Structure 1
Amino acid sequence: MTIAARLKHHLEAQGLPFSMVRHPYAATAAECAEAAHVPGDHLAKSVLIHMEEGPMLAVVPSNHHVDLTSLQSILSRRIGLAPETEVEEVFDDCDLGAAPPVGSAYDVPTIIDDSLTGLDKVWFEAGDHKTLVEMKGKDFDKLMKDAKHGSFCTLH
């Protein structure tokens, strides 16, 4: 099982318990939830947002999309999806498309959708397309304590 080095270091530094879940290769977050047999609304998906000031990480359930109009309104600035080159630059120890939602491990400001707060369990990409991190919801909430919160996603 592979976990991105910076993510592993950050999780260990936070002292929050987590476990690893191996699953068959899955290219997208929705396929990942299915392959790992976890509920899509409990799998946190990362979407890198491009802003003039630098990148920001938006975190939504895997069975949802980021509503860019809502997010732009919350942030009060123009935004867009980051190009793949920017994603590769920020998450240089992860496979493309398998970035963890823990922006603080990568010095990237993060905003998380309110629907991912207060859950019993949360899963998220560990940095490759075959491994998830599993945490109790209360520990995930602590992990994401410095993130902004808002409601900015729509169902697939």
Structure 2
Amino acid sequence: MAIAISLQQYLEGHGVDYDVVTHMPTHSSRETARASLIPEDRLAKGVLLRQDDGYLLAIVPASYRVELDELSKFLGQPIVLASEIEASAIFGDCALGSVPPLAGAYDLTAVLDKNLESPGDVYFEGGDHRSLVHLAGGDFQRLMHDIPHAAIAARNNR
């Protein structure tokens, strides 16, 4: 299974080795983690948000949800979830509902939740609902180095 061309070009352009892991089609990042037998805390998901001056990608573990109030405080401005239509326009080479967490591949600004700072391997959607990209933790951290890190998420208890 191929991944979205924007992701492929971004990863290869940054000299990052990656594997693609396929799984049964899923409808949520938590379901993807379970279907792929990987810990939810190691599956990074992107959440597209709208702010005063454009869009922002919040990058959080699948087992967490973005705390909009905390992120608004961190940014010093109000922020809201973007619509699926907005997301599909930005992530045009991805399936509807697939929001990969590599902001640089889509020319977005981002904030990384501190829960993804650990050095372990990371997985994320490859642009559809059947493929995961697997990165060594050091490579993921290198890609996230220039992105602000903050406590912007809370564990999802459902």
TM-score, with length taken from structure 2: 0.96
Supply the distance in 1 between the matched residues of 2:92 and 2:37 (Cα, whole angstroms).
Answer: 28
Residues 48, 58 of structure 1: 8 Å contact kept: yes
Q: Which residue of 2 aligns with 1:127?
A: 127
Within a 5 Å distance, the mapping from 1:40-79 to structure 2 comes to 40-79=40-79
Supply the distance in 2 between the matched residues of 1:119 and 1:27 (Cα, whole angstroms).
Answer: 27
Supply the distance in 2 between the matched residues of 1:145 and 1:121 (Cα, whole angstroms).
Answer: 15
The answer for unaligned runs of 5 or more in structure 1 is none
Residues 2, 128 of structure 1: 8 Å contact kept: no
Q: Which residue of 2 aligns with 1:27?
A: 27
Aligned residues: 156
1:41-88: CA deviations, max 9, x gaps? 010011001112000000000011000010001010010000111101
Q: Percent identity?
A: 38
What is the CA RMSD across the aligned residues, in angstroms?
Answer: 0.8
Supply the distance in 2 between the matched residues of 1:15 and 1:83 (Cα, whole angstroms).
Answer: 32
| 1:16 paired to 2:16 | yes
Measured after TM superposition, the shift of residue 96 of structure 1 is: 1.6
Residues 68, 79 of structure 1: 8 Å contact kept: yes
Supply the distance in 2 between the matched residues of 1:152 and 1:97 (Cα, whole angstroms).
Answer: 21
Residues 21, 132 of structure 1: 8 Å contact kept: yes
Measured after TM superposition, the shift of residue 99 of structure 1 is: 1.6
Q: Secondary structure at the match of 2:54?
A: coil
Q: Secondary structure at the match of 1:10?
A: helix
Supply the distance in 2 between the matched residues of 1:28 and 1:93 (Cα, whole angstroms).
Answer: 19
Residues 20, 132 of structure 1: 8 Å contact kept: yes
Measured after TM superposition, the shift of residue 17 of structure 1 is: 1.1
| 1:87 paired to 2:93 | no
Supply the distance in 2 between the matched residues of 1:4 and 1:27 (Cα, whole angstroms).
Answer: 18
Within a 5 Å distance, the mapping from 1:93-108 to structure 2 comes to 93-108=93-108
Residues 110, 147 of structure 1: 8 Å contact kept: yes
TM-score, with length taken from structure 1: 0.97
Measured after TM superposition, the shift of residue 27 of structure 1 is: 0.7
Q: Which residue of 2 aligns with 1:152?
A: 152
User: Residue type matched to 1:120 in 2?
Assistant: G
